């Protein structure tokens, strides 16, 4: 029997500590890990909870992230509740195995503390690793602060393990800006959290010897396509389950989550749309813009996969100019997030102006002033009725202004 770990109604936790407390309260059976900055404390803390008797689980240290996710697959296929954490290069090394996990429909929880990909070597936060996972067949939730990293980590188990879903799920938080920043966190009591998450009810677990099953079978052109189509459909079909679990969590905690979040959008002419901590900073900037007479709003993607195309069109319907912020090097194209927003708005009635801002790579700061500049450019676009700048711009970059791609107005 595990020893009770004392939690107060109000704690001051950083994002890593918050996520590790969620793993403890969810009574995770197995964590297989190869720690990497800045996500190290998540798995390290889990290990200490096991070592100190706060949880009846197993912490397995392996030799690489590839092995870590492989171990998670074994433990999950055996019927256990399984989680781990990683960042950056570790995530990159895990990628091959991420596809194995989702293809085998194993409900593994991965806490991703977003960090830039080398070279140059950098431990700070950007979304390069998050984007690397976007086609891997996992559900992806984005947290914007430590509280949300905790809440979403709890909810992720419910979503992933739900029998109508059965998909591995990532919770993303910004490296250092969330993971190493202590803020007020209001956790659930151990009892309430345990009741909410419940006990895993595995399907086709390999330890059920009365019903032998195979994982990772080979399919060639005869069935591979059907399997992948079914997997894609499962991600799309997870929407009502996610919504129901968000609603249940709101009843329990008073904290409301939506797959797409919007702030001050009711009458907004211009908006910034983003992911991660920048969403919250943009809310501060939008308030200041409103005081200056600009009808500014903020939209945020909580659920990056499945991507909320239809809801996005609804919330942006009356907006005139939209700045899509990408915290990842676009590598010779528009930002990936921009492409998705632009694709959604291309098929809307209103066809608003959509621009792309690359910012914050390797943890480069984005200030309220930087965000206000972006809002001001959107207002100029809205007033002119066309995009007055290049479509893609780099924000808070040293050296001369860098921007690409022009609107064809001929």
Partner 1 sequence: MTEIRWHSRAGQGAVSGAKGLGDVVATTGKEVQAFALYGSAKRGAALRAYNRISDEQIFNHAKFMNPDYVLVIDPALAFSDNIEVNEKPETKYIITTHLSKADLIAGIPALHGKEDRVYVVDCVQISLDTIKRSMPNSPMLGAFVKISGMFELDYFLENMKRVLKKFPQKIIDANMEAITRAYNEVN
Which residues are at the interface with partner 1 (CB under 8 A)? 10, 12, 145, 174, 176-178, 180-184, 277-278, 280-281, 283-284, 365-369
In whole angstroms, the minimum distance from the beta carbon of 147 to partner 1 comes to: 9
CB of 398 to partner 1, least distance (A): 15
Q: What is the dihedral of CA 270, 273, 279, 285, to 10 degrees?
A: -20
Phi, psi of 192 (to 5 degrees): -65, -40
Strand pairing of 303-305 and 139-142? antiparallel
Interacting residues of 148 by C-beta distance below 8 A, sequence separation 6+? 173, 257
Least spacing, CB of residue 279 vs partner 1, in Å:
9
Residue 117 and residue 361: Cα distance in Å, rounded? 10
Q: Which is nearer to partner 1, 106 or 188 (CB)?
A: 188
**CB of 103 vs partner 1, minimal distance in Å:** 36
SS3 assignment, position 155: helix
- Closer by beta carbon to partner 1, 136 or else 145: 145
- Least Å from the CB of residue 231 to partner 1: 35
Residue 150 beta carbon to partner 1: minimum distance, rounded to whole angstroms: 15
Q: Which is nearer to partner 1, 136 or 281 (CB)?
A: 281
Nearer to partner 1, 13 or 246 (CB): 13
Q: Nearer to partner 1 by C-beta: 36 or 82?
A: 36
Instruction: Measure the CA–CA gap between 191 and 206, rounded to whole angstroms.
Output: 30
| Cα–Cα distance list, 125 to 179, 315, 363 (Å) | 10, 28, 5
Token representation of residue 128? 């390069």
Shortest Cβ 218–partner 1 spacing (Å): 46
The nearer residue to partner 1, 19 or 197, going by C-beta atoms, is 19
- Nearest Cα to 405, choosing from 338, 344, 313? 338
| C-alpha torsion sign, points 71, 304, 17, 36 | positive
Cβ distance to partner 1 smaller for residue 11 or 161: 11
* Of residues 121 and 236, the one with the C-beta less far from partner 1: 121
Q: Is 274 helix (H, G, I), strand (E, B) or coil?
A: strand
3-state secondary structure of 16: helix
Phi and psi torsions of 113, nearest 5°: -95, 105
Residues facing residue 253 across a β-bridge: none
Measured from the CB of residue 284, what is the shortest distance to partner 1 in angstroms?
5
């Amino acid at each position: 029997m595990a020893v009770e770990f004392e939690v107060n109604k109000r704690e001051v936790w950083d994002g890593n500590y918050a996520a590790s407390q969620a793993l403890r309260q969810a009574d995770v059976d197995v964590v297989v890990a190869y720690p990497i900055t800045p996500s190290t404390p998540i798995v390290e803390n889990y290990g200490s909870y096991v070592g100190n008797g706060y949880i009846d689980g197993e912490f397995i240290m392996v030799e690489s992230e590839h092995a870590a996710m492989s171990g998670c697959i074994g433990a999950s296929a055996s019927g256990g509740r399984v989680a781990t954490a990683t960042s950056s290069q570790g995530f990159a090394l895990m990628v091959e195995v991420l596809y194995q996990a989702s293809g085998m429909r194993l409900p593994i929880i991965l806490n991703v503390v977003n960090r830039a990909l080398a070279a140059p070597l950098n431990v700070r936060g950007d979304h390069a690793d998050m984007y690397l996972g976007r086609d891997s067949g996992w559900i992806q939730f984005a947290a914007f602060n430590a509280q949300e990293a905790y809440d979403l980590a709890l909810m992720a188990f419910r979503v992933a393990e739900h029998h109508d879903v059965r998909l591995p799920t990532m919770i993303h938080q910004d490296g250092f800006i969330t993971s190493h920043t202590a803020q007020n966190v209001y956790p659930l009591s151990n009892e309430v959290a345990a009741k909410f998450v419940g006990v895993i009810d595995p399907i086709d677990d390999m330890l059920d010897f009365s019903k032998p099953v195979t994982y990772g079978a080979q399919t060639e052109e005869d069935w591979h396509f059907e399997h992948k189509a079914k997997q894609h459909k499962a991600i799309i079909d997870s929407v009502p389950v996610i919504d129901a679990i968000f609603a249940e969590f709101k009843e329990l905690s008073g904290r409301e989550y939506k797959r797409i979040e919007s702030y001050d959008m009711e009458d907004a002419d211009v908006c910034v749309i983003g992911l991660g901590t920048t969403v919250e900073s943009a809310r501060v900037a939008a308030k200041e813009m409103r005081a200056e007479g600009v009808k500014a709003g903020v939209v945020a993607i909580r659920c990056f996969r499945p991507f909320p195309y239809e809801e996005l069109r609804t919330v942006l319907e009356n907006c005139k100019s939209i700045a899509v912020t990408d915290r990842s090097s676009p590598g010779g194209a528009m930002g990936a997030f921009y492409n998705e927003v632009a694709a959604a708005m291309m098929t809307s009635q209103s066809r608003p102006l959509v621009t792309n801002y690359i910012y914050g790579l390797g943890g480069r700061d984005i200030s309220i002033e930087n965000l206000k500049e972006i809002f001001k450019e959107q207002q100029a676009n809205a007033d002119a009725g066309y995009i007055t700048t290049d479509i893609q711009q780099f924000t808070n970059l040293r050296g001369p202004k860098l921007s690409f791609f022009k609107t064809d107005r001929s």
